[in-house]
Structure 1
Amino acid sequence: MMPFLTIAFPVFNPIALQIGPIAIRWYALAYICGIVLGWIYARALVKNEKLWGGPAPISLVQLDDFILWVTIGIIVGGRTGYVLFYNPAFFMQHPAEIFELWKGGMSFHGGFLGCVAAVMLFARSNGISILSLGDITTAVGPIGLFLGRLANFINSELWGRPADESVPWAMVFPNGGPLPRHPSQLYEAGLEGILLFTILAVMIRIGALKRPGLILGSFIAIYAFARITGEFFREPDPQLGFLWGGLTMGMLLSVPMIVAGAILIVMAWRRKTPEHT
C-alpha cells in the first residue's frame, strides 16, 4: 500500500518559456540562469579586494571573456561524459543522437572535466593563476548545480529509489511506476547546491581565496561526499543499474574527487601567501 501522506507529483509543462516558435525548456533555462547568476556572483568576488588580500588575479574583462570558454567546456564535457560514462552502447549504435542535446543527458563529472580544461586553457593563454581561476569558477558552481537539480525534478527525471511509510514526502513520479519514491533531485539540490554554496561562501568570507586552490579543493571534496550521499536515495540509471557491491556509477566517479580535493586542500593550506601571476 502507498503511504498515507504520499505527495502527488505536481505536473509541470516541460516548456518554461514560449516565444513564438522558440521554446525554452526548463533544463536549458537552468543552464542559462546558472551561468548568468554565476557570472554576476563571480564579478562581485573579483571586485572585492579584501577577499584576496589585494587585487584579484583576474580582471573583470578577462572574467567576461572566460564565461564563453567555461560554457563551452561545461556543455561539451557534460555531454561527452554522459555518452562515455552512462550510455556508450546506445550512442555507438545511434551516433547522430550524441548531438541531440535537447533530449537530455548530461553528466556532472564530464562537465566538471570540461570546466577544468577550460580553466587551464584560458588561464595559460592569459597568464592567470590556474588555481585562483579554479577557485572563482567552483565558488559559483553550486548555483548551477542547484538549478540543474530543480530542473531534473520539474522534468520528472533522475528520481529516487522506492520509499517506505516512514517517508511522508515520498512522491509517485509520472514515469517512475506506481511506487512512491524519494524526491532525490531535491535532496541533491539541497546538498550540492544550498549546502555546498553556503560552506564555500563562509570559507571565502574568512579568507579562503587568499590560499589559491583551497576553494577548488573544498568544492571537489565536498561535492563528492554530497553526491555519494545523494546516490543512496537515487535510482540508478536503468542501463547501468547497481555496479560492484551495490555501488552506482555516480559513487564510483566521485571517489577520485575526494582524493583530488584532499590533495588540493593540503597543498593550499601549506601556502602562506597568495600566488598571483
Structure 2
Amino acid sequence: MLHLTHIAVDFATLPLRPEVFTIGPFGGWGPFSLRWYSLSYIAAIVIGWWLLAKMIKLPGSPMTSEQLDSFITWATLGVIIGGRLGYVLFYNLPQYVAQPLNILRVWDGGMSSHGGIAGVILGCIGFGLANRVNGLRVLDYVATVSPIGLGLGRLANFVNGELWGRPTGTDWGVIFPGAGPEPRYPSQLFEFALEGVLLFSIMAMLFWGTRARLRPGLLAGVFGVAYGVSRFIVEFFREPDVQIGFLSTGLTMGQTLTIPMTIIGAILLARALARPPLPAPVPDADQKPA
C-alpha cells in the first residue's frame, strides 16, 4: 500500500516572491520595486476598462465611450480610497489613530476588499449624478467585471505568502513562513476560485447570455449575494486577522462585513426582479445612454 507522509507544501520552496522586479538604488533614492499586489490592481483596472469598452457597445448602455474614460478615474479612486479607509476603520484603527500620516502609506500594504467595493459603489453614484446617467445601471456593468480584481488580488496574496488559512489538522496544506509549522489551508486560492473564477463566470453568463443588464440592480444584486456567500464560506478556512481575532459573535470581521453586503444584494435582486425590464433597445442606441 502506498503511504503519503509528506504531502504538505513548504511555501519557502516555491519560486515565488512579492516583487515582480527591483531596480536601483539611484543616488540617494532607495531601490524601486514593482510588487505583484500593486500589479494586480493595475491589471484589474486595465482589463476591466477593456471589457467595459466592449460591454457598452451593446444597445442600451448606460454610458458612452467618452463617459467610460471619465468613469475609470472615479472607479480607480473608489477602489484605492475605499480599500484603504476600509482597512483603517475595520482592521487597524488604533494603529492609525496613533500615527494618522501612515494612512497615506498605501505602498506598505493594508487594503480591504469590502472597503474597495464600497468605494466603487460610491464612485458609481457620484459618476451618475455628475453625468446625469443611471448610476445603478453603471454599477451593474462594473459588478460584472469586478471579480477580475478580486481574483487577481487573491493570487497576489498567495504569492506574498499572506492572509493564509487556518491549520488543516492533517498532513496536507501549505506551510507558510511566519505562520508556524502546521500545514494550513491555501485560503487565498479558495477565494481566487470562488470570488474570482466562479463569480466572474456567473456574472459574464448573465450579462452576455441574458437580458439581465436591462433590469437595473439585478447584476449588482447577484454580485452582492454571490460574493457575500462565497466570502462567508471561505472565512471558515481563513485565519482571522491577528490584531482582531474572532469577534464576540464568534464570527470574523470579514464575515461580519459580508452580512450587510449580502442583505443589500438580496434587496437589489428582489427589487430588480419585481419590476419589468427596460424596453428592448434599438440597434443604434449604443450611443444613447439609457
What TM-score comes out, normalization by structure 1 length?
Answer: 0.93
1:48-104, Cα deviation, whole Å (9 max, x unpaired): x2xxxx331211111111001110111001000100000111111121211111111
- Pairwise mapping of residues 1-277 of structure 1 onto structure 2 (< 5 A)? 4-9=6-11, 10-18=14-22, 20=24, 21-47=31-57, 49=58, 54-165=59-170, 168=172, 170-204=173-207, 205-274=209-278, 277=290
Counterpart Cα distance in 1 of 2:43 and 2:35: 12
1:4-54, Cα deviation, whole Å (9 max, x unpaired): 31112125222113355542111100000011011111111111x2xxxx3
Letter in 1 for 2:50: I
Counterpart Cα distance in 1 of 2:45 and 2:23: 21
Q: Which moved more, 1:181-190 or 1:2-11?
A: 2-11
Letter in 2 for 1:180: P
User: Deviation at 1:3?
Assistant: 5.9
User: Deviation at 1:244?
Assistant: 2.5
Secondary structure at the residue paired with 2:192? Answer: helix
Counterpart Cα distance in 2 of 1:186 and 1:70: 25
Identity %: 46
1:168-190, Cα deviation, whole Å (9 max, x unpaired): 3x000012111110000000011
1:106-140, Cα deviation, whole Å (9 max, x unpaired): 01111111111110011111111111100111110
Contact 1:156 1:175 in 2 (8 A): no
Please give the root-mean-square deviation of Cα atoms over the aligned residues, in Å: 1.6
What TM-score comes out, normalization by structure 2 length?
Answer: 0.89
Letter in 2 for 1:27: Y
Counterpart Cα distance in 2 of 1:14 and 1:256: 33
User: Deviation at 1:245?
Assistant: 3.7
Q: Which moved more, 1:263-272 or 1:181-190?
A: 263-272
Secondary structure at the residue paired with 2:21? Answer: strand
Secondary structure at the residue paired with 2:33? Answer: strand
Letter in 2 for 1:12: L
Counterpart Cα distance in 1 of 2:151 and 2:23: 26
Q: Where does structure 1 lack aligned partners over 5 or more consecutive residues?
A: none
Letter in 1 for 2:267: I
